[in-house]
Structure 1
Amino acid sequence: MRRWQGLILAACCAAGVAEAAQEIRVGIYMLNLGKLDISTGAFTADFYLLMQSDQPITEGSFEFVNGRATSVERLEMAPDGTEIFYRIQANLSTPIDLKRFPFDTQVMRIMLEERTNTMERVRYVPLVEKSGMDPAIVFPGWEIEGWAMNTAAHEYAAYGETYSQAVFAVRIRRITFNSFLKTFLPTIFMMLIVMSSFILNPEQVATRLAAISSTLMATAMFHVSITNQIPPVGYLTFADKFMVLTYFILLACFFLSLHVFVLQGRKEEERARRISRITERLVYMVTPALYALLFLFFRS
């Protein structure tokens, strides 16, 4: 009997604590976003912050877990302290994922967290109807896909405490057409030149070898210029996969053409022509198929 009484008492106490937690409704309206630094994930944000509650709110009882505020200006405050309106400018950072580069999508986050009170005392609730983005915001080189306002629980396992977070996230992605033109089109043109060299007669295989060799060197240098656009990462980006496939195709063309060249040196003309015809068909059929498979199934 005492056991059941203890359980009921504990449940009532927990319910009392939960009911005692102050709910603060948080809304963020973005005014301006600064340029995203891909190498560090750093960006600047200028926004309004609205905090509402049924109880008085402690002024300035929040912090940014992914950066620091450079300016916090209180614009309005209700006489009873249940509503506070700020304008904030902050230097923030966000994790960068470049696996799909140059077709990558990034999420720029404003992560606001209660500074002193755990979730048992203060809990943030998203105020979606008071959140949004100024339509005049333009992000050069990127398309703004949308925004989201939500809350989360941030647990500090080392201290056994959990704090409430409000997260405003802006999703952006690179402009697909521009990314394709700058990253892939030059390599595709070089590959077309190599493929056109297979129209030459087997007797002109030396010219074909020269075209393949020069294209291979140009491709390697172009790959270096692409990788210089992003920081070093521990995985292959989509651009890297594209270039690795290009290396594989060029090396295969080079060694097959070299084999034809060797056969001609041995005066095995008929065999050289047969291998040259097979190589030509493989290049025209397999190369487009490999690139199509890459773009369809290996962009993630």
Structure 2
Amino acid sequence: MPHSYGGQADGRRGFPAGLRSLAGALLAAAAAVLSTLIIATPAAAAVPSCKVGAYVTDLYEVDPVRRTVDADLWLWSLCPRKDLAALQRLEFINATKVSLTEPSSEKVGNEYWTQVKVSGTFRQNFDLTNFPFDKQVVRIRIEESALDESRFVYRADVKNTEYNPRIHLDDFKITKFRIGVVSAPYRTNFGDPRLKQGGSSRYSQLVIEFQLTREDLTSFGKYVLPVYVAFLVAMISFLIWSKDDEVAMITRLGILGTALFTIMLNLRTVDEALGTLLNVTLVEEIHFISLVYVLIGVANTTYIMRLLTDPMGRPAARRINNRIFAIATGLYLIANIVAISLTVSF
């Protein structure tokens, strides 16, 4: 009986051992097949690319009215093959005019190093809303003009790209600088039969970017000084009284008219100088606040004249005048402080 039990036990132990052997053989076969498939499947071909960098030798003529900036720079490319010739197909997307020297190229090791000098005028989207505490971003966009992203891309030479530290701008200082590559989408394939018909396309684009921070506030003082003088004159008008009420009120209106004319004339000058007819800058906000103050003075004087037609209305006229003067002047000062503070902290 014990022998019989032991025989059955040996048979049960042998069955799982057989399964383990079979499973091991199947796993080995599967691994071999998978390895064959991986080796047989070709790796996706990498898109040809060139490393492209820049050295900006000069940045000048920052013109907020024309919304342009002039720049001189060296561009270079490092390509694994001579036929890639990255600098032969450059398109300066935001250039008004641009000139290039003849590219120079030489083989260095297993790569082809090419350089070209570029000078041009480049359109910008300047925002003067926060003038004179504004920061402007200047971009130079350079794009591959022939080969879409499936056939060629740029790689930014971040380590070697720089700008000339001796660049001097009249009103700004350079606070940030960088270079990068972006994908530029187009809602057309430009008729390329190699691309999906009726589809879109993408091209590699190199972006050189400066951040400029305004540091010269002289122009701000020139623009707002006439306005604040007009405000002081308008403020004084509230304090004019005379035994002859008619003379006093006519004098007030004359002063307020002069202040109004000064503000409007200076506002036109600012619009022409900054090219901000479609925007409202801090300087223009100060003009508008001052304009409202002067108009309040005109309305107050007109009302006081009506009260003074009644001999019994003189005390009330003085009381109302002083109250409006205090409220209007206080609100004017607060509005200026808030407007300037919000612009500076933006």
TM-score (norm 2): 0.74
Do the aligned residues in 2 keep the contact of 1:249 with 1:287 (CA within 8 Å)? yes
Do the aligned residues in 2 keep the contact of 1:63 with 1:113 (CA within 8 Å)? yes
Do the aligned residues in 2 keep the contact of 1:29 with 1:133 (CA within 8 Å)? yes
Q: After superposing the two structures, state which structure 1 stretch, 195-204 or 286-295, moved more.
A: 195-204
Per-residue deviation, residues 27-60 of structure 1 (Å, max 9, x unmatched): 1111112313333323322111121244444151
CA distance, structure 2, for counterparts of residue 163 and residue 189 of structure 1 = 55
Per-residue deviation, residues 104-142 of structure 1 (Å, max 9, x unmatched): 433222111112111122222221221111111112233
The Cα of 1:271 is off from its aligned counterpart by 1.0
Match of 2:329 in 1: 284
Match of 1:71 in 2: 100
Match of 2:24 in 1: none
Do the aligned residues in 1 keep the contact of 2:129 with 2:279 (CA within 8 Å)? yes
2:228 aligned to which of 188, 201, 208: 188
Match of 2:280 in 1: 236
The Cα of 1:219 is off from its aligned counterpart by 0.9
Distance 1:89 1:176, change over 3 A: closer
Per-residue deviation, residues 170-197 of structure 1 (Å, max 9, x unmatched): 2224335213212212211221222233
Do the aligned residues in 1 keep the contact of 2:226 with 2:262 (CA within 8 Å)? no
Secondary structure of 2:142 counterpart: strand
Per-residue deviation, residues 53-77 of structure 1 (Å, max 9, x unmatched): 4444415122211124312232443
The Cα of 1:298 is off from its aligned counterpart by 6.0
Distance 1:91 1:274, change over 3 A: closer
Q: After superposing the two structures, state which structure 1 stretch, 198-207 or 158-167, moved more.
A: 198-207
The Cα of 1:293 is off from its aligned counterpart by 1.9
CA distance, structure 1, for counterparts of residue 329 and residue 241 of structure 2 = 16
1:252 aligned to which of 293, 296, 299: 296
Q: After superposing the two structures, state which structure 1 stretch, 161-170 or 182-191, moved more.
A: 182-191
Distance 1:111 1:223, change over 3 A: same
Match of 2:150 in 1: 120
Match of 1:42 in 2: 68
Do the aligned residues in 2 keep the contact of 1:206 with 1:261 (CA within 8 Å)? no
1:167 is aligned with what amino acid?
V
2:115 is aligned with what amino acid?
F
CA RMSD in angstroms, aligned pairs only: 2.6
TM-score (norm 1): 0.85
Distance 1:277 1:172, change over 3 A: same
Give unpaired runs (5+ residues) of structure 2: 1-36, 190-199
1:136 is aligned with what amino acid?
R
CA distance, structure 1, for counterparts of residue 310 and residue 261 of structure 2 = 29
CA distance, structure 2, for counterparts of residue 152 and residue 136 of structure 1 = 29
Match of 1:165 in 2: 205
Secondary structure of 1:128 counterpart: coil
1:277 is aligned with what amino acid?
N
The aligned runs of 1:97-116 (5 Å cut-off) are: 97-116=127-146
Bigger Cα Rg:
2
Match of 2:307 in 1: 263
1:97 is aligned with what amino acid?
D
Per-residue deviation, residues 148-187 of structure 1 (Å, max 9, x unmatched): 2111110111221100111001222433521321221221
Match of 1:139 in 2: 169
Do the aligned residues in 2 keep the contact of 1:94 with 1:109 (CA within 8 Å)? yes
Percent identity, please.
20
Match of 1:5 in 2: none
Match of 1:85 in 2: 115
1:64 is aligned with what amino acid?
F
Q: After superposing the two structures, state which structure 1 stretch, 135-144 or 268-277, moved more.
A: 135-144
Secondary structure of 2:273 counterpart: coil
Distance 1:30 1:272, change over 3 A: same
Q: After superposing the two structures, state which structure 1 stretch, 208-217 or 148-157, moved more.
A: 208-217
Q: Number of residue pairs matched?
A: 288
CA distance, structure 2, for counterparts of residue 77 and residue 239 of structure 1 = 54
The aligned runs of 1:196-235 (5 Å cut-off) are: 196-201=236-241, 204-231=248-275, 233-235=277-279
Pair 1:177-2:222 in alignment: no
Do the aligned residues in 1 keep the contact of 2:48 with 2:152 (CA within 8 Å)? yes
CA distance, structure 2, for counterparts of residue 44 and residue 292 of structure 1 = 36
